Every structure is written in C-alpha cells, then in structure tokens.
Amino acid sequence: MNIKLLLRALIVCCGFALQSIQAQDDLRLFYDKPASVWTEALPVGNGSLGAMIYGGVAYEHIQFNEETLWAGKPHDYSNKGASAYLAEIRQLLTEGKQLAAQNLAQKEFMSEPLKQVPYQPFGDLYIDFLEHDTYTDYTRVLDLENAISTVSYKVKEVVYTREVLASFPDQIIAVNLSASKSKALNFDIWLDAVHDTKAVKSSGTSQTLEVKVKDGVLKGVATITVQTNGQLQAVNRKLKITNASKATIYLSAATNYKSFNDVSGNPDQIVKEILAKVGTESYKKIKAKHTKDYQSLFHRFQIDFGDNGQSAVVTNKRIYDFWKSENDPQLISLYVQYARYLMIASSRPGSKPPTLQGIWNDKLNPPWFSSYTSNINLEMNYWPVETANLSECHEPLFDFIDDVSKTGKIVAKEHYGAEGWAVHHNIDIWRGAAPVNASHHGIWLSAGGWLSSHIWEHYLFTGDIAFLKEYYPLLRDASLFYSQFLYKDPNTGYLISTPSNSPEIGGLVAGPTMDHQIIRALFKSNIEAAEILKVDVEFSKKLRGMLPKIAPNQIGKHGQLQEWLEDKDNPENHHRHVSHLWAVYPGNGINYEETPDLMEAAKQSLEYRGDNGTGWSLAWKVNFWARFLDGNRAYKLLHGLLSPAEEPLRENKGGSYPNLFDAHPPFQIDGNFGGASGILEMLLQSHLGKITLLPAVPDALANGRVSGIVARGGFELTFRWKNTVLQEVEVLSKNGGTCILEYKNKRIEFETKKGKTYQFDGQLTKK
Ligand code: FUC
C-alpha cells in the first residue's frame, strides 16, 4: 500500500474531521489501452450533448449524441374511441377469460400506431494523428473529480495529451489536444454519421455535418471549429492541422425539435450562436467554467469506505478482481460517484431525462428504442438523485411529467372516458402515452401515479412549497384519473385497477397488487399536499373515502405477498420484475413498523424470486434488501451488479461493462442509478418520517464516512462509522423543523433552526 492509500485507510478507520471535503484523486476510471468496443469507451455529457470517447492513438473516434434527435414526428398515439371497448374488456377479465380480453384489447385498445420510435445517434468525430502508430506510456482516464476524460501517450519522446469535456455553461463538447514539443501536433479531423441522409461541408476553420433521420421529421446540425497555434486548412473532406503544439476542437449540435408538438427549431442558428460565443474565449477559461459548474454539484457529497489498494488497478481488471474477491470498498464508493457523474452528465435543468441509455446511444435501432420505459427504468434513473444531493438534476423529470400529462389527458379521455391524465409503460420523445406493443404488457396503468410520486418526493426532500404549488395540479390530475378509473370488482367488492398488468408477468389482468400500492400512495400524498396548500377539500374527502375500498395487500398460501388479486403466485418464478414489492421500495406503504406481517411476506416473495436478474433487477433487489435491513444480502446483489457482465463463467449476465456501465445486458443506465441508490439506502433511510442511520451496513463496508447525504425533511448529514458502529454524526437543517434521528435502539427528537448544524456522538448524545 502506498503512503497515500495508507493515509486514506487511517483517515477512514481512526476518525477525521467531519467537515473536511477534499478532492479525491482516486475518483477515476482508467485503462492502459484504447477502447475496442463502445462499452469500453468513456462517456461525457452536459445534459443535452453526450459523447463516447474511444481513446485510440493513431485514430480517435468520438461518437456523439444530442438528446432531441429521434425518429418520428409530433403525433398523438391515442386510439380514438378505444373507451367503447373498456367495459367489455373488464367484463371478460372478471369472467376469467384472459385470452379473449387480451385479443379484444389488442384489436381495439392499443395505440396508433402500435410502436413508438427510437432515439437516434447523431454523429462521429474522427481524428487521424499522422504517424502515431508506435507509442508508449498510454493511459486513458475518466476523471470524475473534474468531469474530464484524458488520453495521453508518448511518440518518439513527445508526450501527447487529449482532454475531452462536455460543458453545461457553454453547451459544447471541447476536445483539447497538446504536444510537449512545438510543431509536433499534426492531425486531420472530420465529422461523419451512420445516417443514410447526411452532408458534410467544410468552410475555413470549421466543418458542418447535417443529418436527417430516416423515418421522421427531425434533422440535426453539428459543427466543429478549431482554435490552434498551428496551421489550419480545409483539405478534401477534412480539416488539416499542422505544425501545432496545441489545438482545441469545439463541437456544437442541435436539432429542429422544440417540444413534443413543435419542430420549428432552427439548428443552424443555435449551433452558430453557441460557437460564436466560445470562439471568443480560451480553452483555459472554458475548462475553468466547466469545472466550477460541475464541481458546484459534484462536491456536495462525499463517500469513503476506505481503499484496499484496488484503486490502483485498471478499471476493467478491477471489475474482474471484484467478482473473484468480493472485496474492493473503494469500487463501491466509486460506483456511487460514477452514478452522480452520469446524472450530472445526462439530466440538467432544461434538458430531457436520461433514456434507457442515458444520452449515449450509437445505434439507429437501439435496444428497446433507447426510450423511456416507465414500468421501472425511467423512475429508477432518479432513485438516487435527492439522497445524493443532486436535487436540481431531478427537474427534467418534472418537465417530462408536464409533457405526458398533456398527451396523457387525451389518452385518459379516449381510452378510459376519464378526466385527468393516464400514461402507460413506454414513452418516447413525442410523449406517446397510449398502450403500445402488445396488450398483455402494454396496458399497465401505474405510470401516472409512479411518476407523480417523484413530485411528492422532491417536495419531501426539499420542503419547497413553491415547487409543490406549481406541480400539485399534475399530481391532482393523476389522482383524478384513478378516482374515475378504479372499478368496483364484482368478484371481491374492492376497488381495483383493471385492465392492467403486473409488469411484465402474467398477461392482462384485473387488479395487480402494484397498481393498488401506487394508487394508494398517490391518494395519500394528494391529500397531504392539498392540506399543505389549503386546496381541494372536497376532492381530498373523496380520495379519503376511496382509500379503504382499494384492494389491500394480501398474504398468499406460500407465505408470499400476492402479486395479484388471486392467490396464484408461482414460487418458482424468477422473473426480473418484482413489481408487487413497490410498497417496500421505492414506496413506503409496507414497512416493519406499521405492517410487519406484510413485510415478512414481501421478503418471502423476494426469496422466491432469487438473487439473479438483469442489471436493473439486481439494483432493485439491493434496495429491497436494504429496506429488509439485511446489509449482507444487499451486498451480495451489489456484488452481482458490479461483476463483469461479459465473463462467460458467470451464470448471471446482469453486471457491469468495462466502462462501469450497467449491463441488462445490453447496456441500460438504470442499474447504475438504482445500484447507487441501494448503496445509499444501506447507510441512511428516511421514508418513515425519521432518519435511520446505518440501517443495513454490510460487513464488507464496515468502516466509512459519508458527507452531504440528504434525508427527507431537508436534512443534510455527515457521519462516520467503524466496525459497522456509528462514531459520530452531524445534521445540517436546511429548512428548520423537527428532526428525528434513530440508530439501533437509540432515538432522539429535536427542534432545528434553518441553516444550523447539530453534532452528536455515536450514542446520539449531543456534543
Ligand atoms: C422493461 C424490462 C426489460 C427492459 C426494458 C427496457 O420492459 O422488462 O427488462 O429493461 O424495459
């Protein structure tokens, strides 16, 4: 162990000032070879623009995306008049005629057209370094501390360095190249794309790529400009830079997409304006602005489990080593910080939310259209955002909900004859809200409620009343829909959700447990929000009246929490979705304090599902086991999630790629976010009106420190533990109010003042 690592180990084990926030130079992914495939390349992003950097030596490839380039066109996917068939579909389900119900629904109830459209790659920037075939001292790094990806190597005693960053303040991707010897930097650059319809034009110091998507109305414009101390000429289809020692390439890209129902944007003008602005500034200044902006978010939170030396091992090997040894505490903290990095890179105020692949996609036909799947994946992307102190990165989801509440209003009316808004399991850039693909899984009704829970959660974490006031109408209109949609089941007398599906198991059914959990949670939050805002007294009364009539959670014959209204769960079913445990996580309706029997039944259900799964399924199970207060079991699932996805000897294929992207497989970013959330749930939980410290800390993370972790109620905590035992804790109250802290069997309750910090020892005694 080197001196630095020894010091870090001492700091974690023996105590340190709780306040200190220092840069951590081990927060990096690094490699000794260029990437040979996309899942080895390294991502950068500024919320709207994303790029994957391969880091080749003779030949660099930077594949880039802009979040609004999708196939298709503004389009209302609703099926006009579908509601005429609702009663019959329900009746068939009530009579147990599932197949007939599915067939009728497939014919008369699905979206028009049946399929949505895919997110598209934008283009590729290539750099050809003349005569760089033989080289030494190669490193390729993604530095999470600064959000910069670096490549460096030596050719004939000259050191070449390449930095790539995606700047939010300047809305560009910058590629900075330098050589340690004057005039040693000689290269060609050009843009290209995988689209059939494309054009590339060079003019003076810049080059512009125009692309048009195959099936749709969107076109994209990307321009590169170059600042250099060498010579720059446009030669054939390339820009040629010679006799330089430094050069910076700026890339800007935009489309004509303005909103889900407006494509009148002018990408040429947007790109021109952005590049005109950066053209007047130095790379040094642009980099400084980028770092300041990024660190204003990234530095709010730190996490440290110690380091056993593995942080010095190249990341691809490290993932293999972890699979074998299960022991690499710094990899776990790196995973959390990587998720935070990816969040800052793919979800910034004004941007769109991350899709299934964030903003990183290189395929014209990406898996599942690289879209927004709302029966787990989209919401999972936002699970760590509040706790990991990135609250404003949640904003794109609220804009998204605003959009789907508009398209969903049409769907509520046309498909259900109801007011309010309804949305199903998949949503594209045109905010398609109608049921897609196939009736046996496309008709699933909980998305409106689940998405709305993010509005309520954001309020619980921030206490931001102005926000609640602004977004309450969306939450209320989601409730309004369910209040009209719920159906009195002739068989049980309960109010149930029908037709629907327990994602994506068991086909079209009446009354899946998940829907009822979500609707109950929505109604409760609606009632509370209305009380806070002093509005909708009558509506709240109505919801209160409906709550006890909604079908309850039930315990079945195998001791399981029933996934359906009927006791028909198959304990041998190891399906990746575990939807009926929604009330355990991310919901809170099932918990040890109020519903211990249901909690045991839910745990039994999770046991039956087993410990395998796709990336996101493993991540969800980490969160579940943390809520079941079993840190070691949670760690077991986490171990699966951080194991090499492509290792043939592993039985389970869910895991991580060499660039630490989550593998479903294929790549889906949800597991990165869900895994990070699970790690934080092991350390702190705040879903029951109090803050529980170290509820499920695993033995493998016995020593550690976290700072800037956020709890509901507007509390920001810093605490440290040793041999799994709490040592000290500090609470910053951002809004004032009562704070309840709990650790093992100790509980304290105290009043706080806004902006004040409170310190306690490991016994929760005030210092
Ligand atoms: C849901 C999941 C799949 C996949 C897809 C994008 O349909 O069941 O596993 O994650 O979304």
Mean pLDDT to the nearest integer, 570-579 = 97
Parallel, antiparallel or unpaired: strands 42-45 and 49-53: antiparallel
Contact 183, 328 (CB under 8 A): no
Averaged pLDDT score across all residues of the chain: 96
**pLDDT tens digits, 218-250:** 999 999 999 999 999 999 899 999 999 999 999
Residue 25: what pLDDT? 66
Three-class secondary structure of residue 316 per DSSP:
helix
Q: In angstroms, what CA-CA distances link 125 with 55, 151, 345, 370, 752?
A: 12, 16, 19, 22, 53
717 lines ligand 1 (CB under 6 A): no
pLDDT at residue 325 is higher than 90:
yes
Question: Is this model's pTM higher than 0.75 or not?
Answer: yes
Catalogue the E-assigned strands of 75-184: 123-129, 136-143, 148-155, 158-167, 172-179
Distance between CA 343 and CA 419 in Å, rounded?
A: 34
Residue 16: what pLDDT? 41
Mean pLDDT to the nearest integer, 406-421 = 98
504 lines ligand 1 (CB under 6 A): yes
Measured by CA distance, the residue closest to atom 1 of ligand 1 is 373
Residue 686: what pLDDT? 98
121 C-alpha to ligand 1 centroid (Å)? 21
**pLDDT tens digits, 85-132:** 999 999 999 999 999 999 999 999 999 999 999 999 999 999 999 889
**pLDDT tens digits, 124-181:** 999 999 889 899 999 999 999 999 999 999 999 999 999 999 999 999 999 999 999 9
pLDDT at residue 352 is higher than 70:
yes
454 C-alpha to ligand 1 centroid (Å)? 20
**pLDDT tens digits, 644-681:** 999 999 988 899 999 999 999 999 999 999 999 999 99
373 lines ligand 1 (CB under 6 A): yes
Helix (H) or strand (E) holding 516: helix 513-533
356 lines ligand 1 (CB under 6 A): yes
Report which residue type is found at 162.
R
pLDDT at residue 21 is higher than 50:
no
Query: Is 390 buried (19+), middle (13-18) or exposed (0-12) by CB count in 10 A?
Result: buried
Contact 474, 402 (CB under 8 A): yes
**Tokens standing for residue 348:** 């910034």
Residue 236: what pLDDT? 86
**Tokens standing for residue 196:** 């059939």
Torsion of CA 291, 59, 346, 363, to 10 degrees: 170
Three-class secondary structure of residue 28 per DSSP:
strand
Residue 205: what pLDDT? 86
Distance between CA 674 and CA 678 in Å, rounded?
A: 6
368 lines ligand 1 (CB under 6 A): yes
**pLDDT tens digits, 23-32:** 456 999 999 9
Cα 89–chain centre separation? 35
Three-class secondary structure of residue 453 per DSSP:
helix
Measure the N-to-C terminal CA separation of the chain; round to a whole number of Å.
35
614 lines ligand 1 (CB under 6 A): yes
Confirm or reject CATH 2.70.98.50 for domain 32-70+119-299, answering yes or no: yes
pLDDT at residue 8 is higher than 70:
no
DSSP string, 321-356: HHHHH---HHHHHHHHHHHHHHHHHH--TTSPPPBT
Report which residue type is found at 767.
K
Contact 343, 301 (CB under 8 A): no
What is the residue extent of each domain of the chain?
32-70+119-299
Distance between CA 189 and CA 196 in Å, rounded?
A: 21
Using the atom order of ligand 1, give the atom closest to the CA of residue 504: 8
Residues 6+ away with beta carbon under 8 Å from 13: 306, 703, 722
Using the atom order of ligand 1, give the atom closest to the CA of residue 670: 10
> Lowest-pLDDT range, 229-238, 695-704, 748-757?
229-238
Using the atom order of ligand 1, give the atom closest to the CA of residue 371: 6
Task: Give, as one character, the DSSP assignment of residue 562.
Answer: P
Ligand 1 pocket test: pick from 375, 376, 653 the residue with the most ligand atoms within 8 Å of its Cβ: 376
Ligand 1 pocket test: pick from 361, 373, 443 the residue with the most ligand atoms within 8 Å of its Cβ: 373
667 C-alpha to ligand 1 centroid (Å)? 11
102 C-alpha to ligand 1 centroid (Å)? 20
Distance between CA 667 and CA 19 in Å, rounded?
A: 37
616 C-alpha to ligand 1 centroid (Å)? 9
Cis peptide before 586 (omega within 30 of 0): yes
Contact 206, 223 (CB under 8 A): yes
Using the atom order of ligand 1, give the atom closest to the CA of residue 375: 1
Q: pLDDT band at 446, cuts 50/70/90?
A: very high
**pLDDT tens digits, 451-509:** 999 999 999 999 999 999 999 999 999 999 999 999 999 999 999 999 999 999 999 99
Contact 656, 319 (CB under 8 A): yes
567 C-alpha to ligand 1 centroid (Å)? 25
Question: Which residue is it, tokens 């918990």?
Answer: 591
Residue 13: what pLDDT? 45
118 C-alpha to ligand 1 centroid (Å)? 15
> Lowest-pLDDT range, 11-25, 45-59, 190-204, 578-592?
11-25
Residue 22: what pLDDT? 43
